[in-house]
Amino acid sequence: KPFSFGCPSIESVSNRFLNKNRPINDNTNILIEAYRMVRTNKLVQHYNESLPTCAISLGARRLQTLLQCRLQHILAMATIAESSKTT
């Protein structure tokens, strides 16, 4: 049994299924495909433009974490050194 959600029409699906009246090549599919290609290209372009920014942000976050860890280590060492001087 042919199955359709309305695009293409049920008649078009049933005609194709029953091999009646080959569908005429309409421009609707061509327009839809062209729109998909344009949209896909825009999304790929946006992704490619955003990727370096994301990598820089990730690198900055890693650097910030590393610096915070080193600062905590230095402060801990200074606290230990200070406490050993007072005893």
- Position 73 in a domain: yes
- Position 40 in a domain: yes
- Position 44 in a domain: yes
Helices (H) and strands (E) in the chain, counts: 2, 0
- pLDDT in the model for residue 82: 81
- Position 69 in a domain: yes
Q: Count how many domains the chain has.
A: 1
* Mean pLDDT, the chain cut into blocks of 10 residues (87 residues total): 60 72 65 89 89 81 88 88 76
CA separation for the pair 1, 16 (Å, rounded): 12
- The model carries a pTM of 0.40
38 and 32 in contact (C-beta within 8 Å)?
no
- Position 3 in a domain: no
- Position 16 in a domain: no
- pLDDT in the model for residue 5: 62
Residue 56, domain extent: 27-86
- pLDDT in the model for residue 54: 78
